[in-house]
């Protein structure tokens, strides 16, 4: 059941908490906020799987666990398949009547970092969505392989420096554009796809609720600022998220049934991308004169993408 009290943050934050604070994520890591926003938006029983990555290694270190619900981790790439295996078992056991409580609603959720989702786990995610399992996949997009020390992923934006796409005398960092995974997942025909952010917690909770309530495979990409690899002060996580959404570096929107696009957040004042880039260490080198063109390119890409989203929303196709 969806929880209705998502107007008041204080109330919302204490709903049905099934995620213990005693984890070892870095202070200021947005991963835990996103997990809480998911856990607190529903009363339903949850079966959760996680790919290998920061969330997994920080929340289930034997003999401890942060998860007060059913949780499984197998490998770096296969959380989508693991949870859909559990979903298939749920269907089989429901049919056969071998569940302890045959009537209690159960929801299936997989978490992956951008590395495990955009890169190595892409095939498993695509397969699980194609098969139409009833589950929600949530990508914690911190735009790098944080758990292994900040290597580039195909979600890393142009111009960011990472340990494997470094800025240096001959390089401005990552050269390739971020993969548009949201569009790819929408193209799978998933009934609900969205890009959300933890600072806009009401729309995040609503998006999660929609995904949980929609029958079939749903995909959600959430920006998850990483204090360690983006290099900002842990107290500024929400500030960074605000900058990500207000510069439209990370626009928030949903796509229903692969075509109907709705923009979920329209900043009153759209900020220049420099404000976002300047607030973190991984883009510091872009402010050197020789890299000015990279900032211009990023701004141009943002503007074009935003125009495209607005046109698609208006077109209602």
- Indicate the residue among 207 and 225 with the shorter CB distance to ligand SF4: 225
CA distance 79 to 219: 13
DSSP 8-state class, residue 117: I
Tokens of 52: 């290998």
Cα distance between residue 267 and residue 104, in whole Å = 40
CB under 8 A: which stretch of 97-105, 153-161, 204-212, 266-274 binds another protein?
97-105
Residue 58 Cβ, how far from ligand TPP at the closest point, in Å? 9
- Is 26 among the residues that bind ligand SF4 (CB under 6 A)? yes
Helix (H) or strand (E) holding 204: helix 201-213
CB contact at 8 A, 30 and 237 = yes
Whose tokens are 């269907």? That residue is 91
Residue 49: count of CB within 10 angstroms of its CB: 26
Please count the residues of this chain forming the interface with ligand TPP, following the rule CB under 6 A.
19
The binder of 127, among ligand TPP, ligand SF4, another protein, none, by C-beta within 5 to 8 A per type, is another protein
Q: Which of 228, 241, 247, 280 binds ligand SF4 (CB under 6 A)?
A: 228
Which tokens go with 153?
């992923």
- What's the Cα-to-Cα distance from 268 to each of 126, 271, 298, rounded to whole Å? 36, 9, 21
Using the structure block, give the residue that is written with the tokens 């929340």.
59
Nearer to ligand TPP, 76 or 201 (CB): 76
Selected binder of ligand TPP within 41, 83, 115, 178 (CB under 6 A): 115
Q: Which of 31, 33, 77, 107 binds another protein (CB under 8 A)?
A: 77
Toward ligand SF4, which CB reaches closer, 26 or 271? 26
The residue from 35, 54, 223, 279 that contacts ligand SF4 (CB under 6 A) is: 54
76 binds ligand TPP (CB under 6 A): yes
HSE on the CB side for 210, CA within 13 Å? 21
Which of ligand SF4, another protein, ligand TPP, none binds 153 (CB below 5-8 Å, type-dependent)?
Answer: ligand TPP
C-beta separation of 231 from 240 below 8 A: no
Could you say which residues in the range 2-61 bind ligand TPP, by CB under 6 A?
51-55
- Is the bond into 63 cis (omega within 30 degrees of 0)? yes
> What SS3 state is found at 235?
helix
In whole angstroms, the minimum distance from the beta carbon of 173 to another protein comes to 31
Closer of 135 and 230 to ligand TPP (Cβ): 230
- Shorter beta-carbon distance to another protein: residue 96 or 170: 96
Identify the residue among 78, 142, 162, 221 touching ligand TPP (CB under 6 A): 142
Q: Considering only residues 7, 8, 21, 96, which one is a binding residue for another protein as defined by CB under 8 A?
A: 96
Question: Do residues 200 and 263 lie in contact, with contact meaning Cβ atoms separated by under 8 Å?
Answer: no
Residues 11-50 contacting another protein, CB under 8 A: 45, 47, 49
Nearer to another protein, 71 or 118 (CB): 71
Q: Where are the beta strands (DSSP E) in 162-249?
A: 167-168, 171-172, 192-196, 218-223
Say how far apart CA 93 and CA 91 lie, in whole Å.
6
Which residues contribute to the site for ligand SF4 (CB under 6 A)?
25-26, 29, 31, 54, 58, 142, 146-147, 226-229
Residues contributing to the site for ligand TPP (CB under 6 A): 51-55, 76, 112-116, 140, 142, 144-148, 153
């Amino acid at each position: 059941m969806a929880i209705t009290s998502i107007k008041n943050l204080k109330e919302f934050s204490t709903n049905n908490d099934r995620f213990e604070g005693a984890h070892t994520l870095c202070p200021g890591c947005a991963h835990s906020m996103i997990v809480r926003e998911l856990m607190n938006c529903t009363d339903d029983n949850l079966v959760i799987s996680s790919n290998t990555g920061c969330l997994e290694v920080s929340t289930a270190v034997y003999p401890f666990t942060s998860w007060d619900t059913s949780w499984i981790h197998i490998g770096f790439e296969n959380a989508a398949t693991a949870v859909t295996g559990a979903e298939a078992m749920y269907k089989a056991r429901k049919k056969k009547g071998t569940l302890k409580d045959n009537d209690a609603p159960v929801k299936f959720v997989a978490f992956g970092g951008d590395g495990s989702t955009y890169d190595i786990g892409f095939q498993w995610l695509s397969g699980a969505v194609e098969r139409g399992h009833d589950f929600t996949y949530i990508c914690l997009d911190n735009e790098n392989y944080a758990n292994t020390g900040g290597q580039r992923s195909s979600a890393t934006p142009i111009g960011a420096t990472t340990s494997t796409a470094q800025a240096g005398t001959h390089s401005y960092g990552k050269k390739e554009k971020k993969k548009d995974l949201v569009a790819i997942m929408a193209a799978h025909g998933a009934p609900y796809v969205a890009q959300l952010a933890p600072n806009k917690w009401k729309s995040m909770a609503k998006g999660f609720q929609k995904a949980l309530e929609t029958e079939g495979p749903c995909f959600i990409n959430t920006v998850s600022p990483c204090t360690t690899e983006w290099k900002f002060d842990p107290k500024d996580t929400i500030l960074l998220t605000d900058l990500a959404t207000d510069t439209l570096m990370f626009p928030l929107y949903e796509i229903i049934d692969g075509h109907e696009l709705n923009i979920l957040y329209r900043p009153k004042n759209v900020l220049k991308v420099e404000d976002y880039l300047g607030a973190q260490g991984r883009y510091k080198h872009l402010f050197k004169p020789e890299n000015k063109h990279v900032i211009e390119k990023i701004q141009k890409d943002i503007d074009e993408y935003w125009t495209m989203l607005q046109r698609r929303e208006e077109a209602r196709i």
